[in-house]
């Protein structure tokens, strides 16, 4: 039975939610998986730290660049066709990455993976706007964000265990096959909007020329709002921690500086994913029900962030493993979970008619931070040279002190953010 026919059934929206959520798991998986397989990539392709940073950051360049074009393509093709085509590319690119014979091919594959998964989030939000009531949208979006944490979790210990059994190449071949299967599941099971028979939820109409001109004016307003930029700087700096350090270098850091096994390092890294899963609702509750403030929660999270980095730098290489679990969890709260509140703040800075422009623009900055800092960290590590296939602990100490400065800059930036709690209600 085709998706268009099934779309007459009231409960069918949960099928769509399940399919595209399963696809979204691999968006986060690909975003952070290099952190676990980085030592294998370095060994296979004989990479420097800077080269590894370039390979990994290719995902972020493609993903960030495609956010606005993907939205426009969805208006033309619809979410179903768009997410199918892009996930098809993502699956093929994952296979190419697994079979890649050289650094160049692996880097191209990584870029294509970023391009392929770039449509999933925007497509999901478009589908949810059609299939769920406005009063349900925030709850559904929150659940979807938590599923991203499951994707991060799958790229930690499960990937380390799988790679230990079938090597990193086999792991990505398996991921590629699953991605292709999910792409075809989406083709057959996703419908762009409910049929009018049996469901009264209206579908969002396509964009007109007037809408496109309005989008341009809205974007200009966002970029000229002085209170937007401290928030954007904070998002950029936190993204550099979440996507550059934790998304790539945290695995090698734990292995080289603390002599953990890849599986043990994956267990510590899983704290970031757990923080994403449980932290979003907690941060939102604190903001709405306890502190009645966006800014105060963001400032508190940033203070925790500074304290974590200072502890890691000051006691570098000497922290007990149990404290590493705690610090990584707190870092996940102060970056990823708090980032959800930053998106809310960006939305509330502007009137409802330009919400899309505000959210689309703020969403770019964490990825820009990730893609710029990944090779920067690699270059810092390269200055100390490799020893026995890894980097000396002292090299990572320099990175930790760099992030003490980054976290302090983030605290200053967020202290300049305008309080938005209660606006546009």
pLDDT on residue 195? 66
pLDDT tens string 13-66? 888 999 999 999 989 888 878 877 888 888 888 888 778 878 887 888 888 888
Ranked by mean pLDDT, the top range of 39-48, 78-87, 115-124, 299-308 is 299-308
Residue spans of alpha helices (H) in 224-294: 228-239, 250-258, 262-285
Bridge partner list, 390: 387
pLDDT on residue 138? 52
CB 121 within 8 A of CB 24: yes
pLDDT on residue 403? 95
Mean pLDDT score of the chain: 82
Phi and psi (nearest 5°) for 164?
-65, -25
C-alpha distances in angstroms, 332 versus 22, 184, 259, 345?
Answer: 22, 33, 22, 19
What's the pLDDT band for 145 if we cut at 50, 70, 90? confident
The residues, ordered by sequence, that sit 6+ positions from 280 with a Cβ below 8 Å of its Cβ are 142, 145, 146, 336, 337, 340
What's the pLDDT band for 344 if we cut at 50, 70, 90? confident
Residue 309 has pLDDT above 70, yes or no: yes
What's the pLDDT band for 329 if we cut at 50, 70, 90? very high
pLDDT tens string 99-138? 999 999 999 999 999 999 988 877 887 787 678 775 565 5
The residue behind tokens 């940033």 is 302
What's the pLDDT band for 3 if we cut at 50, 70, 90? low
Nearest to 38 by CA among 216, 248, 238, 284: 248
Residue 158 has pLDDT above 50, yes or no: yes
pLDDT on residue 293? 84
Class of residue 398 by CB neighbours under 10 A (exposed 0-12, middle 13-18, buried 19+): middle
pLDDT tens string 206-261? 444 445 565 567 678 888 888 899 999 999 999 999 888 987 788 889 998 898 88
Q: What mean pLDDT comes out for the span 307-332? A: 93
Tell me, yes or no, if the pTM score tops 0.85.
no
Q: What mean pLDDT comes out for the span 346-352? A: 76
Beta strands in 206-249 (DSSP E): none
pLDDT on residue 198? 39
- What structural domains and CATH numbers belong to the chain? 1-197 (1.20.1250.20), 218-425 (1.20.1250.20)
Reading the block at residue 317, the tokens are: 């290489």
């Amino acid at each position: 039975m085709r998706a268009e026919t099934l779309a007459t059934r009231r409960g069918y929206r949960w099928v769509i939610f399940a399919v595209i959520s399963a696809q979204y798991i691999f968006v986060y998986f690909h975003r952070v998986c290099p952190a676990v397989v980085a030592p294998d990539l370095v060994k296979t392709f004989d990479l420097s730290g800077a080269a590894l940073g370039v390979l990994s950051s290719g995902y972020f360049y493609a993903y960030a660049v495609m956010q606005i074009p993907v939205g426009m393509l969805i208006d033309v093709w619809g979410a179903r066709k768009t997410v199918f085509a892009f996930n098809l590319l993502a699956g093929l690119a994952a296979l190419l990455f697994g079979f890649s014979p050289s650094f160049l091919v692996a880097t191209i594959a990584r870029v294509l993976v970023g391009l392929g998964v770039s449509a999933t989030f925007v497509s999901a939000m478009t589908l949810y706007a059609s299939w769920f009531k406005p009063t349900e949208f925030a709850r559904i979006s929150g659940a979807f964000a938590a599923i991203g944490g499951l994707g991060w979790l799958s790229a930690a210990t499960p990937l380390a265990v799988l790679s230990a059994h079938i090597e990193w190449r086999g792991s990505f071949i398996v991921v590629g096959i699953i991605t292709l299967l999910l792409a075809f599941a989406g083709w057959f099971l996703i419908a762009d909007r409910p049929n009018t028979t049996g469901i009264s939820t209206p579908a969002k109409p396509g964009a007109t020329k007037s809408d496109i001109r309005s989008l341009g004016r809205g974007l200009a307003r966002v970029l000229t709002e002085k209170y937007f930029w401290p928030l954007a700087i904070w998002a950029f700096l936190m993204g550099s921690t979440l996507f550059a350090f934790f998304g790539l270098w945290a695995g090698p850091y734990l292995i080289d500086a603390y002599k953990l096994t890849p599986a043990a390092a994956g267990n510590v890294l899983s704290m970031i994913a757990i923080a994403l899963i449980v932290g979003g609702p907690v941060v939102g509750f604190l903001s709405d029900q306890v502190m009645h403030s966006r800014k105060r929660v963001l400032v508190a999270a940033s203070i925790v962030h500074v304290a974590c980095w200072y502890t890691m730098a000051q006691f570098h290489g000497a922290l007990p493993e149990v404290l590493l679990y705690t610090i990584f969890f707190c870092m996940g709260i102060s970056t990823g979970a708090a980032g959800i509140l930053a998106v809310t703040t960006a939305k509330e800075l502007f009137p409802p008619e330009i919400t899309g422009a505000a959210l689309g623009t703020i969403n770019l900055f964490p990825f820009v931070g990730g893609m710029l800092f990944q090779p920067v960290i690699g270059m810092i590590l390269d200055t100390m040279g490799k020893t026995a296939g890894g980097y000396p602990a002292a090299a990572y100490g320099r990175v930790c002190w760099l992030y003490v400065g980054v976290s302090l800059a983030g605290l200053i930036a967020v202290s300049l953010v305008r309080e938005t709690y209660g606006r546009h209600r």
